[in-house]
Amino acid sequence: MFQELYPEDKVSYESYRSIFNTHYNIAFGYPRCDTCSTCDEYNVNLRALTQSLESSEDKQSIENEITLLKRKLDEIKIVFPVRGYSYMECDRNMALINQKAHIELPSEWADQIAVARSKPSPFIVEQCEQDLFRNWADYFKPMFKPKCPIPTRSIKEIRVHREKPKLIFHRDSYNGAWVSNVITNNRYKGPILQANEFTHPQKLYDSLLPISAAKYDDCIDLVKLTLIIFSPVPLNRKGRSPVAVAHGTPPLRINNAPIPWQHTYKYLGITLDRNLHFRDHIKRVRKTAIFYQSRLKGMLGRYSKLSLRNKRTLYLMCIRTVLTYASPVFAHAPKTLKKLQVLQNKFCRTATNAHWCVKKFSPPQGLRSTINP
């Protein structure tokens, strides 16, 4: 059109390309999404016939035309613009869904998908019942070969025709010759069916899906409820804290299930007590650290030939991580932290093979400074 109006002006191909890309948002290259013109034509005709069926008098002929439009496809062709990716309509639709949304229930995913697209029309979410899922893997297993007979990485186009159901046509270029391979099992002898007849596979699920034992234990831990009253009050003369809950206090009930009172509770690996002294937590952590240290005694002991640097690395990776897990929670309890410091000082004396005259709470300053940067 431009050359017809201005035949004397010469414009290069790159000029057209830059103008279309910058001003009209039109790009050149292979399409990134497969569109089937035949399917679009069928959908338009089917929509028009469905609308005319309500107002037309000759409903029988229109229903026959609708039945013909809903027949099986004669041919399926898939084009791969980029190796391994078909860029079909379903791929583009999945990109519209906000996969970073905070979803907890399957019904929330249905709501999220329903509002993911507004143009040309919102998504229609179909609720799938358990009866809709069929065991297609066992159904097709005896019909086809167990292994694909062709290399799939170099394929550019795939075509399957209704008249030759045993063959798959493929080619490695967009203009090359088609190559066919047999994908069905010749030894399979299925039921003899007439035209327009087919069999359904068996149901995939007959009852509710079972969950693993580990997941069941996690669910049980989530539903367990305990009551604990935190009262960070000073201890009395005997070193005991006053009773927060009087003896004989009846437990609370939720859905007629009693919730017992507890003095300690373990949550996310931290043992909480009612006074927030973390004595039970420090005791459990110290016991675990001593166990790991005894297992690594051959490498961390006095007679180990490892260098001091390697000993320090093993300690920081295997033992120090146990001691400092969730340390900001119990860092305000200096009396209980002293027990963990004693354990670390013991490691320093053992790793450096210090003499017996070294004080119990005064390990070599060089190693202590490297462990506590």
Q: Show the tokens assigned to 207.
A: 């009852």
pLDDT for the residue numbered 179: 92
- ∠ at Cα 32 (29, 38), nearest 5°? 105
Sorted by where each begins, the domain ranges of the chain are: 12-71, 73-208, 213-262, 279-371
Report DSSP state, residue 343. H
Q: Would you say the C-alpha torsion 141, 143, 149, 150 has a positive or negative sign?
A: negative
Cα–Cα distance for residue pair 281/303, rounded to 1 Å: 32
Q: Which amino acid is at 330?
A: F
**This prediction's pTM:** 0.41
Residue 293's CB is within 10 A of a number of other CB atoms, namely: 20
Q: What region, left, alpha or beta, does residue 361 occupy, with left being phi > 0 and alpha being psi -120 to 50 degrees?
A: alpha
Q: What is the mean pLDDT of each run of 10 residues along the chain (373 residues)?
A: 75 75 61 57 74 70 65 76 64 82 86 86 84 87 86 87 88 89 84 68 85 79 70 59 64 71 81 83 90 87 86 88 87 79 84 70 51 56
Pairing state of beta strands 270-273 and 264-267? antiparallel
pLDDT of 205 reads: 86
